[in-house]
Chains A and B, each alone.
Chain A
């Protein structure tokens, strides 16, 4: 049985013809000059993002440090934002951000206890909307006197 090299011997001889294909005369004398002049003209300068990507490829430690810093910044942003929402959510109605209706007090709601149910429902704040709503049946009992005089 013939080996692979014997099987392909004629093909390899034919492929060797490619080695005889040569570029126009003087081409290799001109090529370095063309490349250097393009380099000196500033062609092929890497953009900021390409340089960053190159650094990631070459220095994995740089990539890890960058990823860590980005995660830290993201976490800090999320937590600081969350704190602000929480503060607002539990503010009594005396602070801006909560609607205070004139009927609240008339109905016996104490603004210091928290916002009115309507205020919770009307809020577009997802944090506030997801919180446990005060019961609709927690309206303070008020005695009403009715006179049946005719």
Chain B
């Protein structure tokens, strides 16, 4: 069950997608795996993929609203990261570095794909139907009480797609992925003030698009 407090903090998607600090407290830390992968140990890289695949996928998927595109981009991200791994000096964490590759790849892809948006949305999981906040939104607060979760999902994705790539990325990383402003700044190579202003503007835009569903 989601509470307001939960929404303020990053939601754990699965054990594999815990925070980087948690991930590093496991059996083998990232830096060791990176060193082994740099020496062309593919099994070490496989572990790194398993550690971060869900978060990278989620970011790319929420940006594209298309599972097939997200799948391609995630694969290309990890392949590119592997090829460039020898140049990785550890100035930032592997997690931030690979995220940055994914973000750049996704933004480039979206610029090329402009004006031919085709959504291929994933199913909403069973837990969503029990989420009190969403149930309230669907049944009580919307003018159309018959609005189902799937329709609400489509409206939400439509609204997201209307934002620019950079604004959508900030919303995705902060409001969906739960990353801090500082982390987003590092990933998107901009300062915290820019992240905050983009987030504020993006939320304002989305609120305007979705005003009928937020009354």
Q: Does A55 sit at the interface, judged by CB under 8 A?
A: yes
- Say which residue of B45, B74, B121 sits within 8 Å of A21 (CB atoms): B121
Q: How far is the CA of A27 from the CA of B207 in the complex (A)?
A: 33
Find the A residue at minimum CB distance from B84: A54
What DSSP secondary structure best describes chain B's contact surface?
helix
A136 to B22, CA, bound (A): 90
Q: Assess whether A39 is in contact with B121, with CB atoms less than 8 Å apart.
A: no
* Beta-carbon contact of A44 and B79 below 8 Å: yes
Chain A contact residues (Cβ within 8 angstroms of B): what range? Answer: 35 or more
Residue among A8, A13, A28 making CB contact with B137, cutoff 8 Å: A13
Q: How far is the CB of B90 from chain A (nearest CB, A)?
A: 12
| Chain B positions within 8 Å of A39 at CB level | 42, 45, 79, 82
Is A32's CB within 8 Å of the partner chain B? yes
> What's the interface size class on B, roughly?
35 or more
Q: Tell me whether A19 is interfacial, beta carbon within 8 Å.
A: yes
Question: How far, in angstroms, from A110 to B207 measured CA to CA in the complex?
Answer: 93
Q: Within 8 Å of chain A (Cβ to Cβ): is B75? A: yes
A32-B49, A39-B42 given; A14·B124 CB < 8 A? no
Whether A16 contacts B62 by the Cβ 8 Å rule is: no
Q: Is the interface of A mostly helix, strand, loop or mixed?
A: helix
Inter-chain contact B156/A14, CB cutoff 8 Å? yes
Residues of chain B within 8 A (CB-CB) of A44 are 76, 79-80, 82-83
Chain B residues near A38 (CB-CB < 8 A): 75, 79
In the bound complex, do residue A14 and residue B13 qualify as a contact, i.e. CB atoms below 8 Å apart? Answer: no
Which of A1-43 touch B at CB < 8 Å?
A: 4, 7-24, 27-28, 31-32, 34-36, 38-40, 43
Residue numbers of A with Cβ under 8 A of B are 4, 7-24, 27-28, 31-32, 34-36, 38-40, 43-46, 54-55, 57-58
Partner-A contacts on B (CB < 8 A)? 2, 4, 7, 11, 13, 16, 42, 45-46, 49-50, 53-54, 57, 61-62, 67, 70-71, 74-76, 78-80, 82-84, 87, 89, 121-125, 127-128, 131, 133-134, 137, 141, 149, 152-153, 156, 160, 171, 175-176, 200, 203, 206-207, 210, 213-214
**What are the 5 tightest A-B residue pairs by CB atom distance, in nearest-first order?**
A20-B128, A44-B79, A13-B133, A58-B87, A21-B122
